[in-house]
Amino acid sequence: MQDLDADQVTDAVIAQMAGTPDPRMREIMEAAVRHLHAFAREVRLTPDEWLKGIAFLTAVGQACSPVRQEFILLSDVLGLSRVVNVMHDAEGREAAGTETSLLGPFFREQAPEVALGESIARVSKGPEIMLYGRVLDAEGKGVAGAWVDLWQADADGLYDLQAHDPSVMDMRGRVRCDGQGNYRVRTLKPRGYSIPMEGPVGEFVRRQARHGFRPAHIHFLISAPGYRELVTALYLAEDEHVDSDTVFGVSKSLVVTAATGQPDAPVPGMPGIRYDFTLSREASDGGGRVGADPAKLMPAG
């Protein structure tokens, strides 16, 4: 006969889940239940607080749509995405490899291809910068023909999906490295921006007196046959929020400055960011991105 106090119920739940056929699902759910119950006991969660939590999660789920993933946003502001990304990074990346960062919700497949040195700013206007450098392997050799996919907010802090109708692709593109692994591409200096603050996660962040901003950054997805896909971002050192990113995406090695007067600048006088990316060899796990197309996460029907 069950007669479970607040401690014993944990074992009872785990016992009831013990027949889970998938051993990994069993392992994950056992740990989830232990931590969930330990949390509730530690804070002595009351029925009213539990109900507020239910209402909050319900609102987060209801805010999800084919163009918005509020649960990923929640994972981001709670630092969970960072934890998962860092662990994944540590397991698949070679010591010399570039650190990874979050994919975020604005990646789009089939961005327009641009030639070396061309600009990805097709509609938006603003101060121009040049991104250039090399894509290298772990031994420091250039990776010929590597693809550099990049996307970013414009000078107003908006992605194309926020500024225009979905048919417009702007501030994103794919450039192919030359035979020595060199890339160069012109763009606008991005502006930092706030996460969406009008939904339940925005309200949650506001109630924590957090600013809700991400520092200015440029996303990269770099790929070449035989190498691990690299999902990362470069962050502008000058941004006032570079030390307090609301979604904890910044790593020291990914912080850059747009400088003028560099001897190797492709366009003299234009501020340039020189950054060499280093790819790791392909891992057996086949990768995995911390992020996704919101439309693919909606339940069917």
Residues 259-288 that bind its own copies (CB under 8 A): 285, 288
Q: How far is the CB of 126 from its own copies (least distance, A)?
A: 26
Site size toward its own copies, by CB under 8 A: 92
> Of residues 23, 90, 167, 225, which one binds its own copies by CB under 8 A?
90
CB-wise, 211 or 281, nearer to its own copies? 211
> Of residues 9, 138, 265, 270, which one binds its own copies by CB under 8 A?
9
> Of residues 23, 66, 67, 85, which one binds its own copies by CB under 8 A?
85
Residues 27-56 interacting with its own copies (rule: CB under 8 A): 27-29, 31-33, 35-51, 54-55
Asked if 297 interacts with its own copies (CB under 8 A), we say: yes
Distances in Å between the Cα of 91 and the Cα atoms of 17, 85, 87, 183, 239 are 29, 10, 6, 27, 30
Q: How many whole angstroms separate alpha carbon 260 and alpha carbon 262?
A: 6
Q: How far is the CB of 181 from its own copies (least distance, A)?
A: 26
User: Of 217, 219, 160, 220, which Cα lies nearest the Cα of 192?
Assistant: 217
CB-wise, 45 or 259, nearer to its own copies? 45
Residues 222-251 interacting with its own copies (rule: CB under 8 A): 242-246, 248, 250-251
Task: Name the one residue in this structure whose structure tokens are 């960011």.
Answer: 273
Sign of the CA dihedral with 163 first, then 254, 291, and 74 last? negative
> Of residues 5, 139, 198, 264, which one binds its own copies by CB under 8 A?
5
CB-wise, 91 or 264, nearer to its own copies? 91
Distances in Å between the Cα of 285 and the Cα atoms of 96, 169, 222, 223, 281 are 19, 32, 17, 16, 12
Task: Quote the DSSP letter at residue 97.
Answer: S
Asked if 182 interacts with its own copies (CB under 8 A), we say: no
Q: How far is the CB of 180 from its own copies (least distance, A)?
A: 30
CB-wise, 25 or 123, nearer to its own copies? 25
Whether the CB-CB separation of 129 and 265 falls below 8 Å is answered with no
User: Of 109, 116, 73, 83, which Cα lies nearest the Cα of 214?
Assistant: 73
Q: How far is the CB of 211 from its own copies (least distance, A)?
A: 9
Residues 193-222 interacting with its own copies (rule: CB under 8 A): 200, 207-210
Task: Name the one residue in this structure whose structure tokens are 């002595």.
Answer: 44
- Beta-bridged to residue 185, according to DSSP, are 131
Q: How many whole angstroms separate alpha carbon 241 and alpha carbon 195?
A: 13
> Of residues 131, 149, 292, 295, which one binds its own copies by CB under 8 A?
292
CB-wise, 12 or 259, nearer to its own copies? 12
CB-wise, 79 or 112, nearer to its own copies? 79
Q: How many whole angstroms separate alpha carbon 163 and alpha carbon 170?
A: 9
Whether the CB-CB separation of 218 and 180 falls below 8 Å is answered with no
Residues 158-177 interacting with its own copies (rule: CB under 8 A): none
